[in-house]
């Protein structure tokens, strides 16, 4: 593949017992009608063929290398085979698949870093079978950050963003109990999160001067301290520090009035203080077409905004919309990043 050749996206297989294979197969079938960017799957060709048969889908599978994927993509689903085979049963998670799941992620990241792929699109994984096999990370995002640190030798702070047609929302604190948010949230954490968001919105989304709206932690953003001092003592200093750096930030804003149509026109991303404050509006406004984007990594990573859904795997009920949106968003991000690097 030459430097001028188009680069495909690298899609991981996810947990093969879940709906990852289902949405990958149905996305490929809709590639022409939706103008889907070229991608290949790091997976088990036999497993993909078995799932296509179970779903009664006419999807030719082409075993290939990443460099062959773009040419094959119009006529077959390109699959780069893993060294570790994957068990085939739909809906039956098994720790035997853990080595293949992890290999798929490892090789997708390696392909992007080596220039063989434009970005990583991860199909959903389940934590339990991975933990049973000795996987030592809380989830996808933390593992990807560890891989980035291994490859580049520097600290990486991943930032989660849910992005859809109507809203981009970022939780500053993520998978922790609500009672722990008050001990975890700091001015420095908010500032560092916002720096990463602003940088990626500029370089990977093409927004020249990103506007950030910071939600208050307490009801009505604390009402001047009457409902808690965290907004005055933690969030407001973060806003002031960001403005001093030239980042267009405002807040803390009452979260209950931040997400209506007119309010969303005033910012490019909502910075929320805890998980549900960000994800409830994001999913309410775009449940089927929102994308989970990991900002702050030295490579592009998107994923569909849904889980493994073992209970419907292989049934034909899984909708591919979010996976297709993740592919499109990764391609758009790669295009903007390429323009930034050549500017």
CATH for 1-156+297-342 is 3.40.718.10
DSSP 197-260: HHHHHHHHH--SS-EEEEEPSSGGGGGGGTT-SHIIIIIHHHHHHHHHTT-EEEEEE-GGGSSS
Binding-site members for substrate are 140-141, 283, 292, 301
Whether 1-156+297-342 shares its CATH topology with 159-295 is answered yes
CB 109 within 8 A of CB 147: yes
Give per-residue pLDDT as tens, 163-194. Answer: 999 999 999 999 889 999 999 999 999 999 99
Label residue 342 by pLDDT band (50, 70, 90): low
Binding residue positions for a divalent metal cation: 175, 220, 275
Determine the pLDDT at residue 175. Answer: 85
Stretch 44-59: mean pLDDT: 97
- The residue ranges of every structural domain in the chain are 1-156+297-342, 159-295
pTM for the whole structure: 0.93
The answer to whether 12 and 120 are in contact (CB under 8 A) is yes
Measure the CA–CA gap between 162 and 160, rounded to whole angstroms.
7
Q: Nearest CA to 278 among 133, 138, 174?
A: 174
Detail the residues annotated as belonging to a binding site. 140-141, 175, 220, 275, 283, 292, 301
At residue 1, the pLDDT reads 40
d(CA 305, CA 131) in angstroms, rounded, equals 22
The token pair that represents 158 in the structure block: 């991943």
Domain 159-295 has CATH 3.40.718.10: yes
Distance CA 113, CA 258 (A): 38
Q: What digits encode the pLDDT tens for the residues 228-272? A: 899 999 999 999 999 999 999 999 999 999 999 999 999 999 999
Asked whether the predicted pLDDT for residue 328 surpasses 50, the reply is yes
């Amino acid at each position: 593949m030459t430097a001028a050749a188009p680069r495909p996206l690298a899609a991981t297989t996810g947990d093969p017992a879940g709906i990852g294979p289902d949405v990958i197969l149905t996305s490929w079938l809709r590639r022409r009608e939706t103008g889907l960017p070229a991608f290949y799957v790091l997976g088990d060709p036999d497993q993909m063929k078995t799932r296509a048969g179970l779903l009664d889908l006419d999807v030719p599978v082409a075993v290939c290398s990443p460099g062959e994927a773009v040419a094959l993509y119009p006529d077959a689903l390109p699959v780069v085979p893993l060294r570790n085979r994957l068990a085939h049963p739909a809906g039956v998670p098994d720790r035997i698949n853990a080595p293949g799941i992890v290999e798929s992620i490892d090789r997708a990241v390696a392909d992007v870093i080596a220039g063989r792929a434009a970005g990583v699109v991860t199909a959903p994984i389940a934590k339990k079978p991975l933990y049973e096999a000795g996987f030592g990370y809380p989830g996808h995002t933390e593992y990807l950050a560890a891989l980035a640190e291994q490859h580049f030798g520097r600290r990486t702070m991943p930032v989660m963003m849910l992005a859809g047609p109507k809203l981009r929302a970022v939780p500053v604190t993520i998978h922790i109990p609500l009672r722990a948010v008050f001990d975890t949230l700091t001015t420095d954490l908010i500032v560092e999160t916002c720096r990463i968001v602003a940088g990626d919105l500029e370089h990977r989304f093409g927004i020249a001067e990103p506007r950030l709206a910071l939600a208050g932690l307490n009801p009505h953003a604390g009402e001047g301290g009457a409902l808690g001092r965290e907004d005055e003592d933690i969030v407001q200093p973060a806003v002031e520090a960001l403005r001093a750096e030239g980042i267009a930030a405002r807040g803390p804003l009452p979260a209950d009035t931040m997400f209506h149509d007119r309010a969303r026109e005033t910012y490019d991303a909502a910075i929320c203080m805890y998980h549900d404050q960000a994800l409830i509006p994001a999913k309410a406004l775009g449940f089927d077409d929102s994308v989970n984007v990991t900002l702050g990594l030295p490579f592009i990573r998107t994923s569909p905004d849904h889980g493994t859904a073992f209970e419907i795997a292989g049934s034909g009920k899984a909708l591919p919309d979010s996976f297709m949106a993740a592919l499109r968003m990764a391609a758009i991000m790669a295009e903007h990043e390429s323009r930034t690097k050549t500017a």
